[in-house]
Chain A
Amino acid sequence: EAQVTQNPRYLITVTGKKLTVTCSQNMNHEYMSWYRQDPGLGLRQIYYSMNVEVTDKGDVPEGYKVSRKEKRNFPLILESPSPNQTSLYFCASKKQGAQNTEAFFGQGTRLTVV
């Protein structure tokens, strides 16, 4: 089954404690991205990657890092989380270069930073 898998689904952490949210897709998609969703602000793109070792900032990259060492994985790293990063996070993937393809989203990671 085609899917994007995020882990963990829920996480409560303390300010300053480094954490990583993993994202893996099994569709051999070149393009992957991270979004955060906050009430009243909708979904905003954090980072994206067009292929292995190619990453770039989205609209709200501050406080986040990503890496793309393998095609299937695109982890989101919070080096020093702060309470304003409390949010619902989604990873997405899609095929690159095809004319019109849908994006597949993970089930989300609800992060609380206290």
Chain B
Amino acid sequence: DAKTTQPPSMDCAEGRAANLPCNHSTISGNEYVYWYRQIHSQGPQYIIHGLKNNETNEMASLIITEDRKSSTLILPHATLRDTAVYYCIVRERNFGGAQKLVFGQGTRLTINP
């Protein structure tokens, strides 16, 4: 699996959009970008994933650059409950074998009132 680089921490004001960047410059053509978050030692929670097109769901938007070497997770109206560690993960489309998710250190996002 390709490695990712994320800032260790970020702050955002409540009600504002939180933009979390992720670099994955060694991503290969068949690897997807996934985002999970972990709220204070709870189990990681899936947010969104994408291959090359931008994606949006009820939780967030995912913007992937055209060269796919980086992406941004956008929480459009951050709330205090969005305070968590956010993990950007890239992994192969083929789901054979270990299928493990390789969690890096993630970005600790703090939403301030």
Contact surface of A with B, Cβ cutoff 8 Å: 4, 31, 33, 42-43, 45, 48, 50, 56, 58-59, 88, 90, 92, 94, 96-108, 110
Contacts and interface: CB of A to CB of B under 8 A. Distances in A.
Given A42-B103, A59-B100, A97 B44 contact: no
A98 B95 contact: yes
Interface of B: 32, 34, 41-46, 49, 93, 95, 98-101, 103-106
A58 B49 CA distance: 24
Contacts, number: 55
Contacts of B98: 45, 48, 56, 58
A58 B100 contact: yes
| Secondary structure of the A contact surface, majority rule | strand
Given A100-B32, A100-B93, A107 B100 contact: no
